[in-house]
Chains A and B, each alone.
Chain A
Amino acid sequence: MDKGQNTGGLMSSAGLVRYFDAEDSNAIQIDPKTVIATGVMIGVLIQLLTFVA
């Protein structure tokens, strides 16, 4: 059981986007830290460019 993600006990409470356990080996894997780092970097970059402009 429990194929779907976010399955809280017997009650399933998925978000709007569903993630499953199955993953393809072809898929590019991103580290969660990369997501946060990218976000911070883009934010800082655009803020800096705004100051320069």
Chain B
Amino acid sequence: MGWKEAAEPVLTRMPAVRRPEGHVPFKRKLAWTAGILVLYFFLTNIALLGLQGGEATDIFGEFRSVLAGEMGSLMQVGIGPIVTASIVLQLLGGANLLGLDTDDPRDQVLYQGLQKLLVIIMTALTALPMVFAGGFLPAQQSLALGGLEFGQTEIQVLMFTQIFIGGILILYMDEVVSKWGIGSGIGLFIIASVSQRLVTGFIQPSADGFFYDWYRILTGQIETGSLVSGDGLYTLLLGEGQIVALLTTLLIFSIVVYAESVRVEIPLSHARVKGARGRFPVKLIYASVLPMILVRALQANIQFMGQILNSQWAGMPAWLGNYSGEEPVSGFFYYTAPIYSPQDWMWWTGAVTQDAWMVLIRISVDLTFMVIGGAIFAIFWVETTNMGPEATARQIQNSGMQIPGFRQNVGVIEKVMERYIPQVTVIGGALVGLLAVWANMLGTVGGVTGTGLLLAVSITYKLYEEIAEEQMMEMHPMMRQMFGRE
């Protein structure tokens, strides 16, 4: 019990966004959400003061679309620190090392405080190497502000401060959306980032823009070669034509929407009101796709470490990693790097310099990581977000429902839930992992990555459901009591 008492004075005093008193009308909720979204886009367009333009490289690399934010802007860290802090909490909570009971109000306060403190620490830890290690965000040599002259170190401190403030802003913007708006801020930022990339991937009037490239193919500005020899086919399918990427993108959309509706329905009937029936759905992607972001963030942090080591440690042994530019080409960091695009693994084309066996190892590491990691994090997620058999049984019991044909008892409902929830969680988590790797291997339009696409589609679907529910409650205030909200 030691750490709780020691940390309590700090954790209970963490500043928090005020909770709305009573019900917030749907239109107001929409307004708060839209306001935060506009603010987010505004801040992604504010370049860091003191940044040397043109030379920066994004330390998040291909993870950017999942972690949101914008390179070189106030939103530099995106939701990275929040996700990393969440991993730590999930692992600690999942292994029950915290000793916090989230049903106890005092522990809830401590949990919230700890969560916030962790995010703040992670923001500092993410921002520090970005500014001070290597050339990720090169500072200007000197900067004159009014009468003040800043040297390079001072500019670096200035940039760190800006990134840090931006990270804290993201944390509070998420809190505003969670308490006053619809869905969560993190979900909103992920959708914003992925959709922006997707739309850009389609319409940007330069190379890699889908429509622009097709215009150039049709007008003969891009040499496609003969369709019979295979060169032309390659260009159209995987090269500039991006047909496979387009198909993958569309397929992921439909698979996610379909999988959202695949569920095991457990019938419920009301204990007192005859004829009042309901169903409890255990969805195939029960734990949703969010745990996937934790697995990807884990991979991102490994790559992050590799980049820092590479820039700081000249004598890095070859088994750890050999870098050409920012890309690892062999060693541990190569094998643990996820596959982002067809060019990363199609060893029979000229794009890959590694041997086939190296590529195969990398694919299998990525697959193992995503499938097993996806399943494990899904289990932790279900446990920590009160979606497990025990918690749902209690919820069903408290709503006055029972499973027809069984005694009305929490333990009995829990037994029935235990038949479905763990299995569905593991299968769902592994399936989503597989889907993400598969989409990355075939490529996606705009380079949004499979995980990004999966996240965006499933969050949008959730948001849609939530909006529908809000509107129903708005029209029938009685429904609010049924959903247990005031």
Chain A residues near B (Cβ < 8 Å): 1-24, 26-32, 35-36, 38-40, 42-43, 46-47, 49-50, 52-53
Contact = CB atoms under 8 A, between A and B. Distances in A.
Interface residues of B, number: 77
Given A1-B395, A12-B385, A15-B174, 9 more contacts: A13-B466, A16-B184, A19-B178, A19-B179, A27-B13, A27-B15, A36-B176, A39-B39, A49-B49
Contacts of A9: 469, 483
A27 B175 CA distance: 15
Interface of B: 12-19, 32, 35-36, 39, 42-43, 46-50, 74, 79, 82-83, 86, 102-103, 105-106, 108-109, 111-112, 115, 119, 143-146, 162, 165, 169, 171-176, 178-180, 183-187, 280-281, 288, 290, 293, 385-387, 391-392, 394-396, 398-399, 462, 465-466, 469, 483-485
A8 B280 CA distance: 13
Given A12-B386, A12-B387, A52-B146, A30 B18 contact: yes
Contact of A16 (B16, B83, B465): B83
A20 to B, nearest CB: 4
A1 B394 contact: yes
Given A42-B169, A43-B46, A10 B17 contact: no
B179 A10 contact: no
Contact of A17 (B36, B86, B103, B392): B86
A47 B47 CA distance: 7
Given A4-B102, A23-B109, A39 B173 contact: yes
Contacts of A40: 39, 42
Contacts of B391: 12
Contacts of A14: 184, 385-386
Contacts of A20: 102, 105, 108-109, 111-112
Contacts, number: 171
A16 B13 contact: no
A36 B19 CA distance: 15
20 contacts: A3-B103, A3-B386, A7-B484, A8-B483, A9-B483, A12-B385, A12-B387, A14-B386, A15-B178, A16-B293, A17-B174, A18-B115, A19-B178, A26-B12, A36-B36, A38-B169, A39-B39, A39-B43, A42-B74, A46-B48
Contacts of B86: 16-17
Contacts of A8: 462, 465-466, 469, 483
B108 A39 contact: no
Residue of B106, B144, B174 with highest tally of chain A CB at under 10 A: B174
Nearest to A50: B49
Given A1-B399, A16-B83, A19-B178, A36 B35 contact: yes
A1 B401 CA distance: 13
A20 B106 CA distance: 11
B173 A23 contact: no
A50 B39 CA distance: 19
B398 A1 contact: yes
Given A30-B16, A52-B146, A36 B178 contact: no
B424 to A, nearest CB: 13
Given A9-B483, A19-B175, A20-B112, A50 B469 contact: no
A6 B422 CA distance: 22
Nearest to A5: B178
A24 B14 CA distance: 9
Contact of A3 (B17, B102, B109, B119): B102
Given A30-B17, A40-B42, A50 B108 contact: no
